[in-house]
Chain A
Amino acid sequence: MTIETKVDGINVIATVTGEIDGKSAPQVQSELLAALQDGNRLLVDMKGVTFLSSAGLRMLLLLYRQIAAKKGKVVLVGVSEEIRDTMSMTGFINFFTLSDSQEEGLKALS
């Protein structure tokens, strides 16, 4: 599992690759929270994420709360169909903006 973050103007772009499970979710969470800037505009590119368990949902929940509390925005890009299914059945999908590409995601952030 790898996380790369870069700052693009007022946006933070984080690219996560691998599996987000009970082992890796805490690491993803702390790196994403640490990468957040004052504007709290975060794009998480998940094209390379092949698996997300409930530990990953918990991580998304904490991220969402942190950003919502600061009136920021978060966009998830390239979420696989299986992970979308998990997010749908648990009701998570309604609270996140999902985009197919980084370009589209950045538009949604602005």
Chain B
Amino acid sequence: MMSLCLPATLDSLDEIGKYVVAATSEAGLDTKPAYGLRLAVDEIATNIITHGYEEAGIDGNISISAELTASTLKIVIEDTGIPFDPLSRKLPGEDILNLPLEERDIGGLGIFLVLKGVDDFSYVFTDGKNRNIFVMNLAGHN
């Protein structure tokens, strides 16, 4: 699939979502794994746009590409916002997830959903760019 380059604003979330849906449909992923991947990409893209650009007062773009092989669908998001490794954040454990909603701190749920939604997630910072990489194994998911 052709990669897509969009302004790093929340308005771009729609287009990013459509891109992932098209990629999962081309890969023949089942509904649930397709939704999990779409959710994972949305969570990371939202973090990049909100924390990497808007709160930092930086303008820029976010690009998304998809690569389909015989065994995997890989989605890569690249941006030049503030370097941020999503995996550096502490994830909520069972103790937090079982707390009554009155006492919950919502932080970290996005990354938790990313890791639940995809078969592999990784982050690298190279050539001045954040690269967030999402991989779905096709076997068993289609």
CA distance A22 to B106 in the complex (A): 14
Partner of B102 from the list A51, A54, A68, A86 (CB cut-off 8 Å) is: A68
Contacts A22-B50, A53-B46, A57-B109: A65 and B102 contacting too (C-beta < 8 A)? Answer: yes
CA distance A96 to B70 in the complex (A): 41
Complex interface bits, B26-50 against A, C-beta within 8 A gives 1, otherwise 0 = 0000011001001100110010011
Complex interface bits, A50-86 against B, C-beta within 8 A gives 1, otherwise 0 = 0101110110010011001000000000000110011
B34 to chain A, nearest CB (A): 9
Total interface residues on B, CB under 8 Å, equals: 28
Contacts A82-B31, A90-B109: A19 and B17 contacting too (C-beta < 8 A)? Answer: yes
B32 x A82 contact (CB < 8 A): yes
B140 within 8 A of A: no
- Say which one of B59-67, B79-87, B93-101, B128-136 lies at the interface with A: B93-101
Q: 5 tightest CB-CB pairs across the interface, nearest first?
A: A22-B46, A23-B10, A91-B97, A54-B110, A82-B35
**In the complex, given contacts A51-B42, A54-B106, what are 15 additional A-B residue pairs having Cβ atoms less than 8 angstroms apart?**
A22-B42, A51-B17, A51-B39, A53-B42, A54-B43, A54-B110, A57-B106, A57-B109, A58-B106, A65-B101, A82-B35, A85-B32, A89-B112, A91-B97, A95-B101
Q: Can you name 25 A-B residue pairings with CB atoms under 8 Å?
A: A19-B14, A21-B13, A21-B42, A21-B46, A22-B10, A23-B10, A53-B110, A54-B106, A54-B110, A55-B46, A57-B109, A61-B104, A64-B101, A65-B102, A68-B102, A82-B31, A82-B32, A89-B112, A89-B113, A90-B97, A90-B109, A90-B112, A90-B113, A91-B99, A95-B101
